[in-house]
Amino acid sequence: MIELGQTYTTHKSGVVGQIMEIVPNRTGSFRVRLNTAEGERWTTYLPPVAMEYACGDFLDEGLIK
């Protein structure tokens, strides 16, 4: 589970930043805006449960806050 204000590290490039915004996509993934040392950066987060859901309301499921 990811939360606003949490420190997050991107998987491909290893960039570290604080989560500033979380936007759900229709596919079950999330667009995540990070505040990094280099500035603002967007990345995609795919939660483990996305494999179980084709599409759903993850906010109501309590997976993001």
Out of 10-14, 34-38, 57-61, give the one with best mean pLDDT.
34-38
- Does the pLDDT at position 32 exceed 90? yes
pTM: 0.73
Phi-psi region of 62 (alpha: psi -120 to 50; beta: other; left: phi over 0): left
pLDDT at res. 4? 97
3-state helix, strand, coil in the chain (%, to 5): 10, 45, 45
State the Cα torsion 40-1-58-27 to the nearest 10°: 60
Q: Residue 50 and residue 55: Cα distance in Å, rounded? A: 8
CB atoms within 10 A of CB 22: 19
